Structure 1
Amino acid sequence: MTGSSDSEADVENDIHADLKNDLTVYLQDARDVLLWKLEGLSEYDIRRPLTPTGTNLLGLVKHVTGAEALYLGATFGRSFAGAPRLWCTGEAEPDADMWATPKESRERLVGLYRRVWAHSDETIASRPLDALGRVPGGPPKELTLHRVLVHVIAETQRHAGHADIVRELVDGAVGLREAGHNMAPGDRARWADHRDRLQRVAEEAGRSARDATSGRRG
């Protein structure tokens, strides 16, 4: 009986180890993609607000740095000194963590993000997935490391998606990696034709919808 129980425990430990490894791989992939979106751009371009709400590349990095330090640091009793404060926790003015001041250089914020990675990875490595942490601020909320990891991956990937769009608006660079990885092949002329085609489709669908509405009213 003891041998059987030990074997089952070993299998369960292996499953948890594989799951933690999978989550860590996906988190690191999101981190790498987000930083790649800054490569080759000027200080001006990484700060340019390219949406009505001011979304910009360096601000996204600053935000996820603060978020990761909160969830994979302070939540498990391992605060990271110097991490950006998040406005949503009431520790900074609205949107303060979504843009970088002129004194916050790319080198400083990217370096800080990498140090937060290492700090987070220590948290992940030193605790089982069912370890409980308490998210600071607001109503008391206890979450497992598993749940926190899923949240941080989802948030980082979401902001990497924002960075995809912002980078394309800056200089047309697209894809998960350099050279347009995971994008259909094509040069700028091909993409311009594709965009024009989609514009025509949208206009046709809009006309059809208006005609259908007019017909029902008539």
Structure 2
Amino acid sequence: MSTERTDIASTLGKHRALFLSTVRDLTDEQGLLPSTVSALTLTSLLKHVADTEKGWAEFITKGPAALGGDVDWSAFDGDGGGGGEFVDTRFVVEPGETLAVLTARYAEVARTTDELVATVDLDSAQPLPKAPWFEAGANWSARRVFLHIIAETAQHAGHADIIREAIDGAKTMG
């Protein structure tokens, strides 16, 4: 792989490992504990990170439909969605979605994304779906999507580190 592809893959791998270290040696019950005023749990974050990476990787090859490109966001008002509650289902843990199941799912997603990093034309681009948080008419290259996946993973690794430390004092780094 080129230096650029190697840098993308190794940086993403580093942040995935930091994230996954936050769920090491936890029970499924601990994984579901909200340890701050947020409803986030380590299990819900693990599901979100895996599903979000999968969606963005599919966006590279399939376009905006992979990210809900057909969703009508006209009722979304920025604070919960047009008078109703906006629920990001990528955070909702379903029965049977244990830490082991979600960790395995994340590993499969990672393998697929890593293969894409190694093979896709980094300059290939797709139009972003219409959503209030995206610039209208913008396109993102595969390179830009990979950088976004890295940023998303790193951000949630930080969230997970805080949650884990509040549960039992364990820290990702330190």
Query: Is the partner of 1:73 in helix, strand or coil?
Result: helix
Is this contact kept in 2: 1:56–1:99, CA < 8 A? no
1:71-86 matches, within 5 Å, as: 71-77=56-62
Is this contact kept in 1: 2:44–2:93, CA < 8 A? yes
Which of 81, 90, 94 is the equivalent residue of 1:97?
90
Determine whether 1:34 maps to 2:19. yes
Query: Is the partner of 1:44 in helix, strand or coil?
Result: helix
1:26-56 superposed Cα distances (whole Å, 9 cap, x missing partner): 1011111111211111111111112222111
Determine whether 1:159 maps to 2:147. no
Q: How many residues align?
A: 155
State the alpha-carbon separation in 1 of the partners of residues 35 and 51 from structure 2.
Answer: 22
Task: Tell me the TM-score normalized by structure 2.
Answer: 0.77
Amino acid of the residue matched to residue 133 of structure 1?
A: Q
- RMSD (Å) for aligned C-alpha atoms: 2.6
Residue 145 to residue 109, structure 1, CA distance change in 2 (3 Å): same
Shift >3 Å, 4+ stretches:
134-141
Q: Determine the structure 2 residue equivalent to 1:47.
A: 32
**Structure 1 residue 75, shift from structure 2 partner:** 3.1
Is this contact kept in 2: 1:23–1:149, CA < 8 A? yes
Determine whether 1:67 maps to 2:52. yes
1:151-193 superposed Cα distances (whole Å, 9 cap, x missing partner): 11011000000011011001001133xxxxxx3xxxxxxxxxx
Task: Tell me the TM-score normalized by structure 1.
Answer: 0.63
Residue 60 to residue 154, structure 1, CA distance change in 2 (3 Å): same
Query: Is the partner of 2:171 in helix, strand or coil?
Result: coil
State the alpha-carbon separation in 1 of the partners of residues 115 and 130 from structure 2.
Answer: 23
Larger radius of gyration: 1
Is this contact kept in 2: 1:132–1:145, CA < 8 A? yes
Determine whether 1:131 maps to 2:124. yes
**Structure 1 residue 128, shift from structure 2 partner:** 2.6
State the alpha-carbon separation in 1 of the partners of residues 137 and 54 from structure 2.
Answer: 18
Is this contact kept in 1: 2:18–2:172, CA < 8 A? no
Residue 58 to residue 42, structure 1, CA distance change in 2 (3 Å): same
Structure 1 alignment gaps of length 5 or more: 1-13, 177-182, 184-218
Residue 175 to residue 35, structure 1, CA distance change in 2 (3 Å): closer
